[in-house]
Chain A
Amino acid sequence: MAETSPEAVPSTEAHEQMGFWQRYLFSVDHKVIGKQYLFLGLFMGFVGVGLSFIFRWQLAWPGTAVPLWGKVTAPQYYEFVTMHGTIMVFFVAMPVLLGAFGNFLIPLMVGARDMAFPRLNATSFWTIFVGSVLLLLSFFVPGGGSRAGWTNYVPLSDASKYLPGTYWGGNLWLIAVAIDFASVLMGGINFLTTAIAMRAPGMTIWRMPLLVWEELVASVLFMLSVGPLIAGVVMLLFDRMVGTGFFLPDKGADPLLWQHLFWFFGHPEVYVVAVPGLGIAMEILPVFSRKPIFGYHAIVWSTLVAGTLSFTIWAHHMFVSGMDPTLAEPFSVTTVAISVPFAVILFCMIATLWRGQITLSTPMLFALGALANFILGGVTGIPLGTDASDIYLHDTYFVIAHFHNTLVPAAIIAGFGGIYYWFPKMFGRMMNDAWGKVHFIFTWVGFNMVFIPLFLIGLGGGQRRIYMSSVYTYYKPLQPLHVIATIGLIVIIVGQIPFLVNFFMSMFRGAKAPANPWNANTLEWATDSPPPHENFHAIPTVVRGPYEYSVPGMEQDWAPQAAAVESGAAQG
């Protein structure tokens, strides 16, 4: 592990002697790579939101010209809807939750100097960078980007005759997604190896912060579920580019095969996104309640159970797909069963607040908002996961509202919480808390303005992926809901302006951050803000768990994980 040898004294200077390219662009330092992922994820996030602005405008005021864009045609609508989903799941949620937070925090939280394989780490970032470029490129190739939905069902996505003109768009989509998968797999290798083999002395697995647990479970889930879909992507590329018939019914194949492959991955995938997001909230809640997380062990075991169960529920996406209806019943049972471990996790998080000393700082607001909406997402999963009720709700806006109320709280709302919380550690400065609260209000209120109407549209029968709902009279009474939702989106977009200004200005002009502005226990707070190149001046020895807050008998209400020394002898 001689990749990053700690320099003698003082390492920051030696680090500064490295050229710009090595230090910022092609750095192998996990902290730099984490920030690179964050910037890429934020950028792609704004692209994704921009796309949603265009199609949501079309949904609210069909046929009118979208500001800054013009009128939306049907092919454009389907392209934007497809790319919005693809970008948000594969190029925002995963890079931010895993690539940014996982990379930046895991070595710090376990007390290591870097990831196990720093060069592999840099490679994983540049891989997803290439994937992002390819996906964005697909907008500009002849025919434009894929229009088959982020789920890319066959035969629609299999032969060009069904979606004329999107030959290169569809191929690039497949290639970009496969590259994204490779990147996350590489990251997973690092996360697992580092957390298993490089923990500081005294850091038993039951003393790891919950975020580390969640990142590890996410990595394992991804690793074990993505293989069959990679196989499917290769097969589909062959169908499109070579002319094989893996998925074509006229050549004797079963189109449902793609759905099985996609959702066998797709379902664990949403937990790959959900659990790190919840993990971020799990780090924030104790700190701002000054209480231990309630039920650390229960949360860990529930996460493991939920992760395991997540492999058994995929066909709830396919209840009405034409697969054998007798299969629906076992999948319905397993799907509804997965609400049990999640209920444990969510209830434990709520119990953490009980008799706490709660400070509603910006990170805490985002963590609470994420928790509140994730609960909504969770309960709305029940009617979808029950086969009989899903008949009516499948492919409606109810589904869209459900998954946005799980994925967005995890990836975006908790993600923002994480940004505000760890910004001091990442950049050595504090973000402005008042503007952060403004950002929270716009984001959270706007978010609910978008998706609560969408639940109602779905209950009213409004199906998804409809470019022009005026075709159907039953859609007419639902139209005002679309208007409210689009206004909500505008609220969200406006609310991001204070965030962007706050984020970039604080990076250069924010108040200098102390090592531990939040009086938190986990190891990343036991070193400077930002940490030195080698993370810790000396590897800490861990003597307690991560959530010892308000321990009776202790004078201060927090107890850092690493051993405290009585005399304030200066170290490093």
Chain B
Amino acid sequence: MLKLIIYVVGTIFVLVEGTLLAFVILYRRRKGERAAFVRGDSLRQLSWVLIPVVIVAFLDVAIDVMAKPVWELIKEQSPPPGLTVKLAALQFGWEFTYPGPDGKFGTPDDLVQTTFLTVPAGQVIRLLMTSKDVIHSFYVPQLRLRQDIIPGREIPAWFEATQPGKYEIACSQLCGISHFAMKGILRVLTPDEYKQWVSQHWPKSGAGPGKSASGARSSATGKEG
């Protein structure tokens, strides 16, 4: 989506600047010549401006129309999650709470870890985010995921990581002196690695945390608006 917009506006940019440059070069002052007396007040003359403007307006509308479903998918809807993780942002770190095999939060099998968010590849992960102090923002550049976290609310986000690997999590809203150092690591594991990780932390269980239960579970989203 972004690439498309950049190409469109890039084209507009090149055309407009090109016209500007051309005029500056073409119409340099020459001895004995006079400028054309063009006021641009009649509709006929103004149409030279208005028609390009209409084209720009049309492109703008097109961009908005195309962007709408993208936005809705990312921010308003969410595919059914395979795993839900709670996240608490604080000055200056990240705290992740996994629901454990029972899929529920607030039970003894919950697991709290700092800095590292471990998830399986290929599954929709749902995050429920809170802040313990000021506004932070959960940002994973490679996932194109960014969401500010406001203290006093629980804010949802979701993603699906397809490539296993380690990705950096950064805070994307100035939150204090060590805002720049508030780094987390998103570990996306292959299914095998993930099974290993699960059995490491929940030795008695067979299934992964929340695989079956979280589809039915919907946490209360915070006050919005």
- Is the CB–CB distance between B16 and A471 below 8 Å? no
Please, which residue of chain A has its CB at the minimum distance from the CB of B33?
A357
Q: How would residues 149 to 163 of chain B score, 1 for a CB under 8 Å from any chain A CB and 0 otherwise?
A: 111110100000000
- Is the CB–CB distance between A357 and B75 below 8 Å? no
Interface residue stretch chosen among A146-154, A437-445, A564-572? A146-154
- The 8 A-B residue pairs whose C-beta atoms are closest, nearest first, are A249-B152, A461-B141, A294-B40, A295-B40, A325-B75, A355-B36, A353-B23, A388-B70
Residue picked from A162, A324, A351, A388, most chain B C-beta under 10 Å: A388
Contact check: which of A154, A256, A375, A463 meets B20 at CB < 8 Å?
Answer: A375
Instruction: List 24 A-B residue pairs with CB atoms under 8 Å apart, sorted by A's residue number.
Output: A74-B180, A155-B135, A155-B151, A290-B35, A292-B38, A295-B49, A320-B137, A322-B135, A339-B56, A343-B52, A346-B16, A347-B49, A351-B40, A351-B48, A354-B38, A357-B28, A358-B28, A383-B6, A391-B75, A463-B139, A463-B170, A463-B172, A474-B168, A550-B36
Residue picked from A336, A347, A461, A471, most chain B C-beta under 10 Å: A347
Q: How would residues 373 to 409 of chain A score, 1 for a CB under 8 Å from any chain B CB and 0 otherwise?
A: 0011001101100111101111100000000000000
Contact check: which of B135, B142, B176, B179 meets A255 at CB < 8 Å?
Answer: B135
Please, which residue of chain B has its CB at the minimum distance from the CB of A82?
B174
- Is the CB–CB distance between A357 and B180 below 8 Å? no
Asked whether A47 is an interface residue with its Cβ less than 8 Å from the other chain, the reply is no
Interface residue stretch chosen among B61-69, B99-107, B204-212? B61-69
- With known contacts A155-B133, A379-B9, A471-B180, A340–B38 Cβ distance under 8 A: no
- The residues of B that contact A250 with a CB separation of less than 8 Å are 152
- Is the CB–CB distance between B175 and A328 below 8 Å? no
Complex: A471 Cα to B115 Cα, angstroms: 14
Q: How would residues 353 to 369 of chain A score, 1 for a CB under 8 Å from any chain B CB and 0 otherwise?
A: 11111111000000010
Complex: A509 Cα to B64 Cα, angstroms: 56
- Is the CB–CB distance between A347 and B52 below 8 Å? yes
Give the Cβ gap from B69 to chain A, nearest Cβ, in Å. 9
- The residues of A that contact B155 with a CB separation of less than 8 Å are 322
Q: How would residues 1 to 16 of chain B score, 1 for a CB under 8 Å from any chain A CB and 0 otherwise?
A: 1100110111011001
- Is the CB–CB distance between B27 and A387 below 8 Å? no
Give the Cβ gap from B29 to chain A, nearest Cβ, in Å. 4
Complex: A392 Cα to B70 Cα, angstroms: 12
Contact check: which of B30, B67, B146 meets A320 at CB < 8 Å?
Answer: B146
Complex: A327 Cα to B147 Cα, angstroms: 15
Interface residues of B (CB under 8 A from A): 1-2, 5-6, 8-10, 12-13, 16-17, 19-21, 23-24, 27-30, 33-41, 45-46, 48-50, 52-53, 56-57, 60-61, 63-64, 67-68, 70-72, 74-76, 91, 133-135, 137, 139, 141-142, 144-153, 155, 168, 170, 172-181, 183, 223-225
Give the Cβ gap from A273 to chain B, nearest Cβ, in Å. 22
- Is the CB–CB distance between B34 and A391 below 8 Å? no
Asked whether A321 is an interface residue with its Cβ less than 8 Å from the other chain, the reply is yes
Asked whether A344 is an interface residue with its Cβ less than 8 Å from the other chain, the reply is yes
- Is the CB–CB distance between B68 and A329 below 8 Å? yes
- Is the CB–CB distance between A472 and B168 below 8 Å? yes
Interface residues on A, range: 35 or more
Asked whether A254 is an interface residue with its Cβ less than 8 Å from the other chain, the reply is yes
Asked whether A90 is an interface residue with its Cβ less than 8 Å from the other chain, the reply is no
- The residues of A that contact B137 with a CB separation of less than 8 Å are 320, 395
Give the Cβ gap from B65 to chain A, nearest Cβ, in Å. 10
Asked whether A466 is an interface residue with its Cβ less than 8 Å from the other chain, the reply is yes
Asked whether A17 is an interface residue with its Cβ less than 8 Å from the other chain, the reply is no
- Is the CB–CB distance between A350 and B23 below 8 Å? yes
- The residues of B that contact A75 with a CB separation of less than 8 Å are 177
- The residues of B that contact A551 with a CB separation of less than 8 Å are 37
- The residues of A that contact B35 with a CB separation of less than 8 Å are 289-291, 355-357, 549-550, 557
Given A296-B41, A350-B23, A352-B40, 10 extra CB contacts under 8 A: A292-B40, A320-B137, A329-B68, A339-B60, A344-B50, A353-B20, A360-B24, A375-B17, A387-B67, A389-B1
Complex: A380 Cα to B151 Cα, angstroms: 31
- Is the CB–CB distance between A359 and B40 below 8 Å? no
- With known contacts A336-B60, A351-B49, A389-B2, A473–B168 Cβ distance under 8 A: yes
- The residues of B that contact A472 with a CB separation of less than 8 Å are 168, 170, 183
- Is the CB–CB distance between B135 and A382 below 8 Å? no
Contact check: which of B1, B41, B173 meets A297 at CB < 8 Å?
Answer: B41
Please, which residue of chain A has its CB at the minimum distance from the CB of B61?
A336
- Is the CB–CB distance between A322 and B16 below 8 Å? no
Please, which residue of chain B has its CB at the minimum distance from the CB of A255?
B150
Asked whether A372 is an interface residue with its Cβ less than 8 Å from the other chain, the reply is yes
Contact check: which of B17, B39, B153 meets A294 at CB < 8 Å?
Answer: B39
Contact check: which of A340, A372, A552 meets B37 at CB < 8 Å?
Answer: A552
- Is the CB–CB distance between B20 and A350 below 8 Å? yes
- The residues of A that contact B46 with a CB separation of less than 8 Å are 295, 298
Interface residues of A in 108-132 (CB under 8 A from B): none
- Is the CB–CB distance between A340 and B53 below 8 Å? yes
Asked whether A348 is an interface residue with its Cβ less than 8 Å from the other chain, the reply is yes
Asked whether A467 is an interface residue with its Cβ less than 8 Å from the other chain, the reply is yes
Give the Cβ gap from B115 to chain A, nearest Cβ, in Å. 13
- Is the CB–CB distance between A357 and B146 below 8 Å? no
- With known contacts A344-B53, A392-B2, A295–B37 Cβ distance under 8 A: no
- Is the CB–CB distance between A372 and B17 below 8 Å? yes
Asked whether A371 is an interface residue with its Cβ less than 8 Å from the other chain, the reply is yes
Q: How would residues 509 to 524 of chain A score, 1 for a CB under 8 Å from any chain B CB and 0 otherwise?
A: 0000000000000000
